[in-house]
């Protein structure tokens, strides 16, 4: 069975003062049945990792596909690792949309992250138009296949299903839709990785809040969440962590 993971994604939020939220989360009693991760802007990773001292995991939000080089403004997986990150989000729909990231680029980033010793959190998810056209499973399966190159390591992989239309909108798919997508992802991963697929955590992301977390975590093949807005405040995120721990 896959380990459970409550992952926060601060996106482009967070100044030094907001490290107080990391501190608060670290000071709270840690859950026994799930792992806690905060993926933060690169500027906060080193300080957050020192503050955490291993009580929670700290991650990055993206990395370059190359190990180093002339890529002004980019950050490598090794740099994230060096700063104290253990995970990195890759292929988030906001990266795919804002920066035109293709599946092939995301696949290269997954390999780069894993080569540097990071766990890659690979995001997939359909747009509203794709959903309305009944193409959700086709789109998500194609993204997954295209974003995993030969050599991708299932032991250092997390997959997050994030319907684009549910991100930051307060809209959440009905339970049957989440179940269907997670079952399809698990089947695709099994076809690719065999028995090792059972241990790959499958996260749901998109408007997860303290109010709906328990309902989502009760679903089969939902091993946790990738949480945006509700991870910014320790008090909110702690409620989501508690719901996962109790699921
Ligand atoms: O990575 C997190 C997702 O984009 C979800 O964001 P949200 O919880 O603010 O909807």
Q: What DSSP assignment string belongs to the chain?
A: -PPPEEEEE--S---GGGHHHHHHHHHSPPPSSSEEEEE--HHHHHHHHHHHTTSSEEEES---SSSSSS-TT---HHHHHHHT-SEEEES-HHHHHHS---HHHHHHHHHHHHHTTPEEEEEE---HHHHHTT-HHHHHHHHHHHT--TT--GGGEEEEE--GGGTTTS----HHHHHHHHHHHHHHHHHHHGGGGGGS-EEEESS--TTTHHHHHTSTT--EEEESGGGSSHHHHHHHHHHHHH-
Per-residue buried b or exposed e for 171-202, using 16+ beta carbons within 10 Å of the residue's own CB = ebbeeebbebbbebbbebbeeebeeebeebbb
Tens-digit pLDDT string for the chain (247 aa) = 789 999 999 999 999 999 999 999 999 889 999 999 999 999 999 999 999 999 999 999 999 999 999 999 999 999 999 999 999 999 999 999 999 999 999 999 999 999 999 999 999 999 999 999 999 999 999 999 999 999 999 999 999 999 999 998 988 888 989 999 999 999 999 999 999 999 999 999 999 999 999 999 999 999 999 999 999 999 999 999 999 999 9
92 catalytically annotated: yes
Contact 179, 137 (CB under 8 A): no
Q: What is the distance in A from the centroid of ligand 1 to the CA of 7?
A: 10
Nearest to 84, CA basis, from 106, 116, 131, 132: 116
Nearest to 140, CA basis, from 132, 149, 130, 150: 130
Task: Identify the CATH homologous superfamily for domain 5-246.
Answer: Aldolase class I (3.20.20.70)
Q: What is the pLDDT of residue 180?
A: 96
Contact 16, 50 (CB under 8 A): no
Q: Report which ligand 1 atom has the smallest distance to the Cα of 166.
A: 10
Q: How far apart are CA 216 and CA 243, in angstroms?
A: 9
162 catalytically annotated: yes
Q: How far apart are CA 2 and CA 197, in angstroms?
A: 9
Q: How far apart are CA 187 and CA 141, in angstroms?
A: 10
Q: Which of 92, 94, 101, 126 is catalytic?
A: 92
Q: Is 10 annotated as a binding residue?
A: yes
Distance of CA 231 to the CA centre of its chain: 12
Q: What is the distance in A from the centroid of ligand 1 to the CA of 241?
A: 15
Q: How far apart are CA 179 and CA 221, in angstroms?
A: 7
Q: Report which ligand 1 atom has the smallest distance to the Cα of 227.
A: 8
Q: What is the distance in A from the centroid of ligand 1 to the CA of 189?
A: 23
Q: What is the distance in A from the centroid of ligand 1 to the CA of 215?
A: 17
Pocket test for ligand 1, best of 41, 61, 208 (most atoms within 8 A of CB): 208
At residue 127, what are phi and psi to the nearest 5 degrees?
A: -80, 170
pTM, two decimals, is: 0.97
Lining ligand 1 with CB less than 6 A are 9, 92, 162, 167-168, 205-208, 226-230
Domain ranges of the chain: 5-246
């Amino acid at each position: 069975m896959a380990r459970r993971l409550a992952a926060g994604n601060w996106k482009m939020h967070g100044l030094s003062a907001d490290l107080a939220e990391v501190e608060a989360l670290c000071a709270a009693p840690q859950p026994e049945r799930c792992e806690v991760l905060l993926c933060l802007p690169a500027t906060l990773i080193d300080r957050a990792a020192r503050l955490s001292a291993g009580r929670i995991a700290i991650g990055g939000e993206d990395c370059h596909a190359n190990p180093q080089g002339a890529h002004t403004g980019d950050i490598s997986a090794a740099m994230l690792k060096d700063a104290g990150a253990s995970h990195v989000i890759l292929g988030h729909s906001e990266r795919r949309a804002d920066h035109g990231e293709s599946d092939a680029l995301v696949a290269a980033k997954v390999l780069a992250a894993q080569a540097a010793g990071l766990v890659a959190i690979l995001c997939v998810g359909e747009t509203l138009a794709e959903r309305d056209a009944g193409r959700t499973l086709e789109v998500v399966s194609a993204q997954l296949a295209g974003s995993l190159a030969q050599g991708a390591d299932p032991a250092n992989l997390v997959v997050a299903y994030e319907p684009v239309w549910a991100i930051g909108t307060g809209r959440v798919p009905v339970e049957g839709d989440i179940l269907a997508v997670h079952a399809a992802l698990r089947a695709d991963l099994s076809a690719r990785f065999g028995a090792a697929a059972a241990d790959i955590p499958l996260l749901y992301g998109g408007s997860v809040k303290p109010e709906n977390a328990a309902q989502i975590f009760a679903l089969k093949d939902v091993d946790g969440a990738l949480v945006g807005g509700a991870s910014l405040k320790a008090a909110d995120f702690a409620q989501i962590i508690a719901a996962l721990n109790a699921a």
